[in-house]
Amino acid sequence: MKTIRKQSIQLLRGKGKYNKIEEAVIAYAMMMEYIKTESKRPHMDSAKSSSSKGDVEEAQRALSSMLHKCERAQDKLDEGTWQWTLMRDNIHALQLALSLITKPLETNGFTKADLEEAHRALSSAVCRVGKAQEKLTQGTSQWTLAKNRIHALQLVLSLITQALENT
């Protein structure tokens, strides 16, 4: 697992020299490791539980914050770089997520491919935020921010899964 962590850190920082297949394998291994470890944590409430209006509003607030942060970060990046492309994909996924949270029973004109790409991007975001949260001290504002983001992303991933089942 240490090799996968090292490779994934290199991949996320853009320092590794990996082809697309190797990147996909590393990303998949990261996600599977994250899912395995996070399923044992008590703070990871399942998105299967019924969402109250307050949960949805909190998720909307967290997703809006993430979207705004991604847009600001993308403005500072050079177009055409992998970082810029990653931000573009994240922005599109967050816009789709906010649209689904606003009207969960509608796909709002998004295609199945859009939903699948958003699911991939947001699943990756859950993995990245979870890894960052592991390094934070529980009870700090940063840890709580990460917890809120994970909860919001899980909620919207369940909505995307439902939308995919309905298409």
What pLDDT was estimated at residue 47?
Answer: 39
Q: Quick check: is 105 in a domain? A: yes
Same domain assignment for residues 93 and 127: yes
Q: Quick check: is 48 in a domain? A: no
- Residue 69 has φ and ψ, to the nearest 5°, of -65, -40
Same domain assignment for residues 33 and 114: no
Range ranked top by mean pLDDT from 33-37, 40-44, 101-105, 135-139: 135-139
CATH number at residue 115: 1.20.1270
Q: Quick check: is 12 in a domain? A: yes
Residues 6+ apart with CB under 8 A from 122: 93, 94, 97, 153, 156, 157, 160
What is the pLDDT confidence band of residue 50, given thresholds at 50, 70 and 90?
very low
For residue 31, pLDDT over 70 is answered with: no
Q: How far apart are CA 9 and CA 117, in angstroms?
A: 22
Same domain assignment for residues 144 and 98: yes
Query: 5 or 102: which carries more pLDDT confidence?
Result: 102
Q: Quick check: is 162 in a domain? A: yes
Same domain assignment for residues 14 and 96: no
Q: How far apart are CA 115 and CA 111, in angstroms?
A: 6
Q: What would the pLDDT profile of 85-120 be if each residue is shown by its tens digit?
A: 999 999 999 999 998 888 765 556 788 899 999 999
Phi-psi region of 81 (alpha: psi -120 to 50; beta: other; left: phi over 0): beta
Percent of the chain with pLDDT over 70: 66
Same domain assignment for residues 86 and 140: yes
Which structural domain, as residue segments, surrounds residue 142? 53-167
The count of structural domains within the chain is 2
Same domain assignment for residues 92 and 145: yes
For residue 14, pLDDT over 90 is answered with: no
Same domain assignment for residues 61 and 34: no
Same domain assignment for residues 121 and 101: yes
Same domain assignment for residues 107 and 167: yes
For residue 5, pLDDT over 90 is answered with: no
Read out DSSP for the chain?
A: -HHHHHHHHHHHHT-S---HHHHHHHHHHHHHHHHHHHTT-TT---TTSPPPHHHHHHHHHHHHHHHHHHHHHHHTSPTTSHHHHHHHHHHHHHHHHHHHHHSTT--TT--HHHHHHHHHHHHHHHHHHHHHHHTSPTTSHHHHHHHHHHHHHHHHHHHHHHHHHH-
Q: Quick check: is 31 in a domain? A: yes
